[in-house]
Amino acid sequence: MAYLGASRAAGDFGLQLIEVQSTSESDYLPNLHTLARRGYCAVIVAVGFLMADAVKKVADEYPDQLFAIIDGYVPDKLNALSVLFKEPGGSVLAGALAGMGPTTRAARRWA
């Protein structure tokens, strides 16, 4: 979902999107360092609470680089924005969709 949103924003605002996927937690720091060191990203967005420690560390090392972390918390950093969601929100939506069941008009079309 993060990639879909980033792709749409890139298209809507004429931005270049650079995607880097980590294959393991040990990739977080090197990947963030590489992006920050290059210096051509307006903002580096990390997705997931597991990346919080890596973002904290790299944000300290590159104070002029902007960072954002989705679903993670990086406190007391002027160059890092934490984007958090209320946890029940997604569950409520999933429950509502599940509760609609196969009797809804949209579900009948797919059946």
Q: Which residues pair with 44 in a beta bridge?
A: 67
Residue 33 placed within a domain: yes
- Cα–Cα dist 62/2, whole Å: 24
**CATH number for position 71:** 3.40.50.2300
67 falls within a domain: yes
Q: How many structural domains are present in the chain?
A: 1
Note whether residue 16 is domain-resident: yes
CA separation for the pair 69, 2 (Å, rounded): 11
Determine the structural domain holding residue 50 and report its residue range. 2-86
Please check whether residue 107 lies inside any domain of the structure: no
85: left (phi over 0), alpha (psi -120 to 50) or beta: beta
What pLDDT, on the 0 to 100 scale, is given for residue 1?
A: 80
Q: Taking 70 as the threshold, does the pLDDT of residue 109 lie above it?
A: no
The share of the chain scoring above pLDDT 90, in percent, equals: 63
The model's pLDDT over 72-107, given as tens digits with 9 standing for 90+, comes to: 999 999 999 999 877 766 677 677 767 665 555 554
